[in-house]
């Protein structure tokens, strides 16, 4: 990728409090760059990994947003809120959580593993008739949200200190952890809401390697956390090209696909990202060319 040293992905460890947009705004100021986006928001009360795509690497965002995500979460039994998290208004309370066993709690949560249709929270960014669900809810109406398929690859209860329950979850993009807390509470018959959330990974990106948000102004720390464009798409099949193939890709022309190579491909040359292409098994068509962009 014939790009400047500011083109790439910057993993950030967002603290609880600021919005994802606040972090982007702070990064724009710290780096002096306007072209910065992220690959999936975290609610203000949540902390953890936020991937910032910087400069021309903003064009890579779509290849990162769909990666599986891992969270550490806490739910609070016995209290339902209208947002399904601690920021909402309480809609019902129950003391019946006092009679629950750890076994019953684990069973209710573990039943939420696998692939199933999840109803998004009423206060979510999902659209209903072209309008955001949270806008409908704030207006006092109940949005009629359609269930969406999610995949919960793994879920483990790590602590039970009633009425709180800690759990970790690895899931597909688009899964609402608030909805997992809500649904577990409903299965147990006592209600629940999400009281804490921390995202620890997105694909192979881990929060341990992320830059703390309060170090955004530290140029040395930023450089240590920075991920190059080619490394940012290391999860994609990669094809290195030279000579005529590299020239054809640079000019947006197709090249022959190696045997067995299908789908989205990261095309590299001389150790840099040259393009993202799509292979039909016969030819590779450049979809996004970065050289001389």
In a domain, 266, yes or no: yes
The pLDDT assigned to 3 comes to 41
The answer to whether residues 132 and 81 belong to one domain is yes
Model confidence pLDDT, tens digit, residues 236-274: 999 999 999 999 999 999 999 999 899 999 999 999 999
Encoding tokens for residue 95?
Answer: 């003391």
Question: What is residue 2's predicted lDDT score, i.e. its pLDDT?
Answer: 39
Both 243 and 142 in a single domain?
no
Task: List the structure tokens of 126.
Answer: 């999902």
Model confidence pLDDT, tens digit, residues 47-70? 999 999 999 999 999 999 999 999
State residue 292's pLDDT score.
Answer: 58
187 and 87 co-located in one domain: yes
Domain membership of residue 128 (yes or no) is yes
CATH code: domain of residue 37: 3.30.2350.10
CA 141 to each of CA 132, 193, 215: distance values in angstroms, whole numbers, following the listed order: 12, 20, 42
pLDDT(79) > 50: yes
Domain-embedded: residue 233: no
What is the model's pLDDT at position 4?
46
Do 99 and 182 share a structural domain?
Answer: yes
Residue ranges making up the domain that contains 273: 238-289
Cα–Cα distances (Å) from 168 to 185, 200, 266, in that order, read: 16, 10, 31
Q: Are residues 123 and 83 in the same domain?
A: yes
Task: Based on the fold, state whether residues 108 and 186 are members of the same structural domain.
Answer: yes
pTM, whole model, 2 decimals? 0.93
Does 43 reside within a domain?
A: yes
Q: Is residue 261 part of a domain?
A: yes
Mean pLDDT, the chain, integer: 94
Active site residues: 43
> Tell me, what's the pLDDT at 130?
83
Q: Where residue 5 falls among pLDDT bands split at 50, 70, 90?
A: low
> What share of the chain in percent tops pLDDT 90?
86
Q: Which residues pair with 171 in a beta bridge?
A: 69, 152
Alpha helix positions (H), 193-269: 219-225, 229-232, 243-250
Residue 127 has a pLDDT of 85
The reply to whether 2 falls in a domain is: no
State how many domains the chain has: 3
CATH number of residue 268's parent domain: 2.30.130.10
């Amino acid at each position: 990728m014939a790009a400047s040293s500011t083109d790439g992905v910057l993993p950030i460890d967002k603290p609880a409090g600021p919005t994802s947009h606040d972090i982007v705004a702070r990064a724009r100021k710290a780096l002096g760059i306007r072209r910065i986006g992220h690959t999936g928001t975290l609610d203000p009360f949540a902390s953890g990994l936020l991937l910032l795509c910087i400069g021309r690497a903003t064009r890579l965002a779509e290849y990162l947003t769909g990666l599986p995500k891992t969270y550490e979460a806490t739910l609070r039994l016995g209290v339902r809120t209208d947002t399904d998290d601690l920021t909402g208004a309480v809609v019902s309370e129950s003391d019946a959580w006092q009679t629950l066993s750890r076994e019953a709690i684990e069973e209710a949560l573990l039943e939420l593993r696998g692939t199933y249709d999840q109803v998004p929270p009423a206060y979510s960014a999902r659209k209903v008739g072209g309008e955001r669900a949270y806008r409908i809810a704030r207006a006092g109406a109940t949005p009629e949200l359609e269930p969406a398929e999610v995949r919960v690859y793994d879920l483990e209860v790590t602590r039970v200190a009633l009425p709180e329950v800690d759990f970790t979850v690895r899931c597909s993009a688009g899964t609402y952890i608030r909805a997992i807390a809500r649904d577990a509470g409903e299965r147990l018959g006592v209600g629940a809401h999400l009281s804490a959330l921390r995202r620890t990974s997105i694909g192979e990106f881990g929060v341990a390697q992320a830059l703390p948000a309060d170090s955004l102004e530290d140029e040395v720390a930023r450089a240590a956390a920075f991920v190059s464009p080619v490394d940012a798409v290391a999860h994609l099949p990669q094809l290195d090209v030279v000579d005529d193939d590299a020239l054809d890709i640079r000019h947006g022309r197709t090249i022959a696909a190696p045997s067995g190579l299908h789908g989205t491909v990261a095309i590299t040359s001389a150790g840099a990202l040259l393009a993202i292409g799509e292979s039909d098994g016969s030819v590779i068509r450049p979809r996004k060319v970065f050289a001389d962009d």
